[in-house]
Amino acid sequence: MTNPERLASSLNEPDLVWTGAKATEDRGLHLNPAPELAINAPAPAGTFEAALGQQSAAIPGGGVTASVVDGNTFSDTNSNPVNGCNQISFTGAAFSGKIVVLDSTEDCSAAVQVFFTQLEGAVGLLVADTTGSGLPDVSGGFGNPITIPYIGIQKSEAEQLRTDIGIANATIQNSATKYAGENQGKLKMYAPPGLEPGSSVSHWTKSATPDLLMEPAVGTLDFEDVDLTAAAFRDIGWSVNIPGGVVEVIFEDGFE
């Protein structure tokens, strides 16, 4: 590859993937089913890749289906535009029983947005990318419990839902064929649109669920399990000594 091609590749998530055979083979041992957005209306209906919020409640087996409302078109009882970063305090039940779509914002994390959304009775939250470059960042937690699922979706899907919000209906669901953090059967690398020296390309995607040891930031991990790290070592030619083929203990007391 040329230098310009390498630069383009390093900014190309979700299309930059790890092609190593062992990590590909083992991904199903460490990753959960991928979250998906199924748009039931307006037409054309379809199923789309999504990113599971870091603090999301588990998506139930049958998914969560409901009418969709555009949260960004509302104002709260103090006439402030709703972005999900503050208590909304509607006098009515505009979000009750609905899946709400809100634009991703730098004012707060997606976990804050979903917390205030669930207080208004919503059953799910779609956090929409605003840049057109892929899925939004839905990492980051919040000190209060989250009881409904929330996922990050691309700008184009949010625009489709907003086309005719009166009939918009969607399902937040688990994929029957894909894992969280993969693209076309390969594990995605961390390659955000803005280069992050020391993180870009040299780590797994942040969309992997559960969190993996070699993501760009430490999430919720079981430090006795090196998950796909050993597989990546084998892919690059290391001899990994794992008695019986199973990693049992890597880090001892004090690191748990």
- Domain ranges for the chain, please list them: 3-30+181-245, 33-179
pTM equals 0.78
Residue scoring higher pLDDT (85 or 134): 85
- Residue 224: the pLDDT is 63
Residue 26 CA to residue 40 CA, distance in Å, equals 33
Mark 64-76 as b/e (b = at least 16 C-beta within 10 Å): bebbbbbbbebeb
- Residue 251: the pLDDT is 46
Minimum mean pLDDT among 59-73, 157-171, 239-253: which range? 239-253
- Residue 217: the pLDDT is 80
Beta-sheet strands, E only, within 42-166:
46-49, 51-52, 64-70, 99-103, 124-128, 150-153
CA triple 47-124-179, angle to 5 deg: 45
Which segments of the chain does DSSP mark as H helices, in order?
3-10, 21-30, 110-119, 155-163, 229-235
169-198, pLDDT tens digit by residue?
Answer: 999 999 999 999 999 999 999 998 899 999
Residue type, 87: Q
Q: Indicate the SS3 state at residue 2.
A: coil
The yes or no reply on domain 33-179 and CATH 3.50.30.30 is yes
**Within the chain, what is the greatest distance between any pair of CA atoms?**
64
Of all residues in the chain, the percent with pLDDT exceeding 70 is: 90
226-250, pLDDT tens digit by residue?
Answer: 889 889 988 998 877 665 655 544 4
In DSSP terms, 191 is beta-bridged to none
| Element of type H or E holding 188 | strand 186-188
Q: Which residue has the tokens 């957005």?
A: 37
Is 136 a residue whose pLDDT tops 70? yes
Residue 210: asked if its preceding bond is cis (omega within 30°), the reply is: yes
- Residue 222: the pLDDT is 58
The 10 Å Cβ neighbour count of residue 224 is 13
Q: What's the token pair of residue 87? A: 């208590």
- Residue 256: the pLDDT is 42
Characterise 244 by phi-psi region: left (phi > 0), alpha (psi -120 to 50), beta (else).
left
- Residue 220: the pLDDT is 64
CB 195 within 8 A of CB 11: yes
